[in-house]
């Protein structure tokens, strides 16, 4: 089985397969006389395992550790548990922040209906105001920058930017 066939079977780009080999995740297969990689069913299974873990968004370092544990069946599986626990906690944390994020964005999106000049756009107004510390959930309330004239000075050549 050549790299293309393996890639088709597992739906993995051959470049990715070579990458996994380079970083030591997938063992280097033997080569044919012409230098082509020759894979067997063991590689196919291992690659499928890797991809399944990746689909669970595990970092490759974790996948590496799981593969190592698979190769050493007598080890204690506590390591497996810890690894999954940690990863799950990580995913749940990300999920929570992403939920809050989506909510914020939906709210922000509701600020503009129909077209008008950017100077009057509710979305931009909201973004500027929030960045200046009012009703901003994302940064803490400690970022108050200016007390009035809540407009961003431009960065274009024509709009002045005076320092200090």
Partner DNA sequence: AAAAACCCTGTAGCCACTCCGGGGTCAAGA
Partner DNA sequence: TCTTGACCCCGGAGTGGCTACAGGGTTTTT
Binding site for Zn ion (CB under 5 A): 52, 77, 112, 121, 136, 138-139
| 73 in Cβ contact with 80 (< 8 Å) | no
Of 56-64, 89-97, 121-129, 144-152, which segment contacts DNA by CB under 7 A? 56-64
Residue 143 DSSP class: G
| 46 in Cβ contact with 67 (< 8 Å) | yes
Among 56, 61, 102, 123, binds DNA (CB under 7 A): 61
Asked whether position 60 contacts its own copies by CB under 8 A, the answer is no
SS (H, E, C) 126-146: HHHHHHCCCCCCCCCHHHCCC
Total residues contacting its own copies by CB under 8 A comes to 91
| 63 in Cβ contact with 50 (< 8 Å) | yes
CB of 49 to DNA, least distance (A): 13
Asked whether position 65 contacts DNA by CB under 7 A, the answer is no
Residues 61-120 that bind its own copies (CB under 8 A): 66-67, 69-81, 84-85, 87-88, 91-92, 94-95, 98-99, 101-102, 104-106, 108-109, 112, 115-120
Q: Which residue has the tokens 């129909």?
A: 114
Total residues contacting DNA by CB under 7 A comes to 20
Residues 17-46 that bind DNA (CB under 7 A): 18-19, 33-37
33 touches, from Zn ion, DNA, its own copies, none (C-beta below 5 to 8 Å by class): DNA
Query: Token pair for residue 150?
Result: 């809540």
Task: Determine the Cα–Cα distance for residues 6 and 16; give it in Å rounded to an integer.
Answer: 11
| 39 in Cβ contact with 3 (< 8 Å) | yes
| 63 in Cβ contact with 53 (< 8 Å) | yes
**What residues make contact with DNA under the rule CB under 7 A?**
2-5, 7, 13-16, 18-19, 33-37, 54, 59-61
């Amino acid at each position: 089985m050549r790299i293309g066939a393996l890639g088709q079977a597992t739906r993995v780009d051959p470049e990715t397969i070579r990458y996994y080999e380079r970083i030591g995740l997938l063992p280097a297969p033997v080569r044919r006389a012409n230098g082509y990689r020759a894979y067997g069913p063991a590689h196919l299974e291992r690659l499928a395992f890797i991809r399944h873990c990746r689909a669970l968004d595990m970092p490759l370092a974790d996948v590496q550790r799981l593969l190592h544990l698979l190769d050493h069946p007598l080890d204690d599986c506590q390591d497996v548990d810890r690894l999954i626990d940690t990863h799950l906690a990580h995913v749940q944390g990300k999920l929570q922040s992403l939920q809050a994020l989506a909510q914020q964005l939906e709210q922000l999106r509701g600020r503009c209906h129909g077209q008008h000049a950017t100077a009057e756009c509710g979305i931009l107004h909201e973004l500027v105001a929030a960045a200046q510390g009012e009703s901003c959930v994302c940064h803490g309330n400690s970022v108050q920058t200016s007390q009035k004239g809540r407009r961003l000075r431009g960065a274009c050549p024509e709009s002045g930017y005076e320092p200090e």
